[in-house]
């Protein structure tokens, strides 16, 4: 909507968000093992790298942590679509 001087009036935030196009997610080409930069985490003796420490910190329902920081169970709420997932690799 143009104003008197031809300048467009700003939209309310939620109206502007509703106008954004939504596309299907494409994960082709992404491979986690290409990113070997994860450090050893806060406690290098527990086997949890930084990624797994974040997964543990953000869990809605904490997973079981076995030797070498192997995670099983748990659930997470994805920040972008508010969907609860039960696979840490999918969060």
The DSSP secondary structure of 45-79, one letter per residue, reads TS---HHHHHHHHTEEEPPEEEGGGEEES-EEE-T
- pLDDT digits (tens), the chain, 91 positions: 555 667 788 899 999 999 999 998 887 887 877 777 667 777 777 888 888 888 899 999 999 999 988 899 999 998 888 899 998 776 5
d(CA 24, CA 26): 6
Return the half-sphere exposure (C-beta side, CA atoms, 13 A cut-off) of residue 11: 9
């Amino acid at each position: 909507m143009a104003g008197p001087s031809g300048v467009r009036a700003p939209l309310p935030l939620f109206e502007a968000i509703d106008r954004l196009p939504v596309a299907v997610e494409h994960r082709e080409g992404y491979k986690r093992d290409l990113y070997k930069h994860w450090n050893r985490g806060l406690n290098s003796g527990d086997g949890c790298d930084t990624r797994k420490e974040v997964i543990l910190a953000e869990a809605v329902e904490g997973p079981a942590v076995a030797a070498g920081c192997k995670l099983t169970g748990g659930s997470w709420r994805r920040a972008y679509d508010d969907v609860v997932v039960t696979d840490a690799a999918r969060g």
